[in-house]
Structure 1
Amino acid sequence: MGEKLECMFERLDSRFDVLAQVLEAAHLGRALSARIELGAPWALHFADTNRRAGFHVVTAGRCCVLLDGTTDAVELGAGDIVVFPHGAGHVLADQPDTPSIEIHEAVGNLAPGQRMSLPNAGSGAPASVLCGSYSFAPDGTNPLLRGLPQLLHLSAEKLRNTPLEAAMQWLAAEANGAAPGTALIIDRLVDLLFIYALRLWTAQQDASSPQTWFGALQDPVVGPAVHAVHGDPAYAWTVENLAQRAGLSRAAFARRFQQAMGEPPLSYVTRWRMTVAAGLLADGHAIAHVADRVGYENEFAFAKAFKRIRGLAPGQHRQRHAKQRTERTTQAESGFVE
């Protein structure tokens, strides 16, 4: 008799994922993407956009990037990717000293699918770049960006045989085609690129590098605590019961958490509860219901905490999003969707 075959069935869509939760809570709108093909000399200035994380993928040629206010250029070659987690202003150019134009002024009114010639490009060495951006909440409460530098550069050599390299190749292929579903696939690939880039960059950092939220998820002490809080935000979390899960004393756990996350454990608990609450309120749920869902028996205490963390009252937040839903419905009915 042969060995008995072990069979299983697992629903992958139902897996609990802290990162997916955070991205869903913070990602407000669809991704933006563009393809740029230029001949030297050329230089484009991308203004600071603190609500969008951006990236550039060099698919052909060479170029460089300079953060606003700096003179040190980062050289980029084919297969490189550079990410701006906080939407920092920067210049993308063939050479550091090439005069730049404002990209938003040049193409800001361009409709999806449209193309145009850029005014300052020449006929020299060609370069091809794929650009994308990813929108985040404007209130500064998104933990994902904590500890990340203004610019992340991953060279083609570091990307070899990684999922990020594959996603970049898929994006390039879709950008060069016009098959059915291309727009949707590109949107999903922009999401993948951002996550894969953060994964790879975090994995390549040494122990002396600044701590990030993404990296803290991998910490054997802090990671399980974060997963527990995200899995049940309404639970009566204390430093003591979180420390017990980690097998540490209260003081040792609090120090480890502060070091990894940049804030005390209960501050993180409250901030994540308010992030969950903001999403529920935006969906139109009643304030009393939302308060209960995030662990508050007292609606007044919830409202006070929400305003302290988010900067406005729960009712105001709910009304603002109700108005936005109405505006989107009106636009859709009139045939205009942003």
Structure 2
Amino acid sequence: MIADPLSDVLQLLRPRAYGFRGLDIGGDWSLCLPPQPVVRCYALRTGACGLWLDGVAPVQLAAGDFVLLPQGQGLVMGSRPDAPRVDLERFFTTASGDTAIFEEGGDCRGLGGYFEMAGMAADQLLRALSPVVRLGAGADASGLLWLVDRLMAELRTPRPGGRLIAEHLSQTLLVEALRLHLATAAQRTGTWLAALADPQLARAIEAMHADPGGRWTLDALAKISGLSRSGFAQRFSDACGEPAITYLARWRMMLASDRLARGVPTAIVARELGYGSESAFGAAFRRITGMSPGRFRSA
């Protein structure tokens, strides 16, 4: 089976919390949200509005746009940044899945929400993304809007199995947004997504994900990529921001964290991930995560 690195990382994400609400508003308005360690996303149905984030150039959104904000910056959204504020207390007391209506609505309609992710995989993924991932109507964002609508419906009318469906929908929403982002936008260098977008480097990443416990060397990875050893090493470091062997070690520890959290014995985790002894695995785990496997498991 061919490895799918993006799916591998996303499968390790553990949504701890999520919520979506609709907003239907008229007139001059703004919504101000503080920084939070969450992934935010917004879909605009009708009308237009601006988006102002800390340290990022203003973004203008139009009907059909979908935007993912993976780094949890503080933001202002609205007709202008200094417009009258939406009553946050009233907005957030609206039940998840419902739509809050302000000033009789009609001018701007959209959906918004957040995911709170946990674990090393979340950090690895979110650091690789731009502060603003915008997918316009021309980027075939209709599938994203359908997913948001379906998620809103599950949250609005709880039914048996709804929590599991909502978790799957939220993960699918993130996958679809990242797929479109990879297909339509140039990746920033210095991230593993940039390396994944390079077809030759992607072969090496796929090989490492298919056999994370393998005895990988630069020579072997370069051969898979169809590049010289030195050419591969430089190209991978430039794209990913770290050497290929460092990426492999970090990926192993992401897998190890997941398995330890699920109760897999340390000796088995060490063997599966290519370490000759528990002590060698423990040293590598401590170097990358900052704690021992035992301390991580108890935490």
Q: Taking structure 1 as the reference length, what is the TM-score of the superposition?
A: 0.76
Looking at structure 2, the residues matched to 153 and 47 of structure 1 have their Cα atoms a distance apart, in angstroms, of: 20
Asked whether the equivalents of residues 253 and 288 of structure 2 are also in contact (C-alpha less than 8 Å), the reply is yes
Q: Taking structure 2 as the reference length, what is the TM-score of the superposition?
A: 0.85
Task: Give the aligned partner of residue 152 of structure 1.
Answer: 133
- Of residues 123, 137, 141, the one that matches 2:118 is 137
The reply on whether 1:47 has 2:34 as its aligned counterpart is yes
- Of residues 46, 49, 59, the one that matches 2:45 is 59
The reply on whether 1:25 has 2:6 as its aligned counterpart is no
Q: CA deviation at 1:273?
A: 0.5
The reply on whether 1:127 has 2:108 as its aligned counterpart is yes
Asked whether the equivalents of residues 145 and 213 of structure 1 are also in contact (C-alpha less than 8 Å), the reply is no
Pairing of 1:62-77 with structure 2 (within 5 A) = 62-69=48-55, 72-77=57-62
Q: CA deviation at 1:289?
A: 1.6
The one-letter code of the counterpart of 1:219 is D
Per-residue displacement from partner, 1:237-290 (whole Å, max 9, x unpaired)? 121221122232221111111122110011001100100000010001121221
Looking at structure 1, the residues matched to 60 and 84 of structure 2 have their Cα atoms a distance apart, in angstroms, of: 17
Task: Give the aligned partner of residue 81 of structure 1.
Answer: 66
Looking at structure 1, the residues matched to 47 and 162 of structure 2 have their Cα atoms a distance apart, in angstroms, of: 25
Distance 1:100 1:15, change over 3 A: farther
Task: Give the aligned partner of residue 198 of structure 1.
Answer: 178
Per-residue displacement from partner, 1:299-319 (whole Å, max 9, x unpaired)? 122112112211221111111
Asked whether the equivalents of residues 198 and 214 of structure 1 are also in contact (C-alpha less than 8 Å), the reply is no
Looking at structure 1, the residues matched to 87 and 208 of structure 2 have their Cα atoms a distance apart, in angstroms, of: 43
Looking at structure 2, the residues matched to 24 and 89 of structure 1 have their Cα atoms a distance apart, in angstroms, of: 28
Looking at structure 2, the residues matched to 152 and 141 of structure 1 have their Cα atoms a distance apart, in angstroms, of: 16
Looking at structure 1, the residues matched to 149 and 285 of structure 2 have their Cα atoms a distance apart, in angstroms, of: 43
Q: CA deviation at 1:217?
A: 2.0
Q: Where do 5+ consecutive residues of structure 2 fail to align? A: none
Task: Give the aligned partner of residue 98 of structure 1.
Answer: 83
Distance 1:184 1:214, change over 3 A: same
Looking at structure 2, the residues matched to 178 and 298 of structure 1 have their Cα atoms a distance apart, in angstroms, of: 51
Looking at structure 1, the residues matched to 40 and 216 of structure 2 have their Cα atoms a distance apart, in angstroms, of: 36
The one-letter code of the counterpart of 2:109 is S
Task: Give the aligned partner of residue 249 of structure 1.
Answer: 228
- Of residues 124, 139, 148, the one that matches 1:171 is 148
Looking at structure 2, the residues matched to 228 and 138 of structure 1 have their Cα atoms a distance apart, in angstroms, of: 23
Looking at structure 2, the residues matched to 295 and 98 of structure 1 have their Cα atoms a distance apart, in angstroms, of: 57
Number of matched pairs = 296
Looking at structure 1, the residues matched to 61 and 289 of structure 2 have their Cα atoms a distance apart, in angstroms, of: 39
Distance 1:206 1:287, change over 3 A: closer
Per-residue displacement from partner, 1:80-127 (whole Å, max 9, x unpaired)? 111112222211113222144684x555666656x5867xx4346532
Per-residue displacement from partner, 1:207-239 (whole Å, max 9, x unpaired)? 8x5464334224222111111111111111121
Q: CA deviation at 1:170?
A: 4.8
RMSD of aligned Cα (Å) = 3.0
Task: Give the aligned partner of residue 246 of structure 2.
Answer: 267
The one-letter code of the counterpart of 1:32 is G
Asked whether the equivalents of residues 132 and 190 of structure 1 are also in contact (C-alpha less than 8 Å), the reply is no
Looking at structure 1, the residues matched to 9 and 112 of structure 2 have their Cα atoms a distance apart, in angstroms, of: 23
Per-residue displacement from partner, 1:175-224 (whole Å, max 9, x unpaired)? 368595776555434333322222222322358x5464334224222111
Asked whether the equivalents of residues 82 and 153 of structure 1 are also in contact (C-alpha less than 8 Å), the reply is yes
Percent identity between the two aligned chains: 34
Q: CA deviation at 1:132?
A: 2.5
The one-letter code of the counterpart of 1:251 is S
The one-letter code of the counterpart of 2:82 is D
The one-letter code of the counterpart of 2:221 is L
Looking at structure 1, the residues matched to 178 and 100 of structure 2 have their Cα atoms a distance apart, in angstroms, of: 33
Distance 1:171 1:124, change over 3 A: closer
Secondary structure at 1:73 match in 2? strand
Asked whether the equivalents of residues 54 and 133 of structure 1 are also in contact (C-alpha less than 8 Å), the reply is yes
Higher strand share: 2
Asked whether the equivalents of residues 27 and 134 of structure 1 are also in contact (C-alpha less than 8 Å), the reply is no
Asked whether the equivalents of residues 21 and 94 of structure 2 are also in contact (C-alpha less than 8 Å), the reply is no
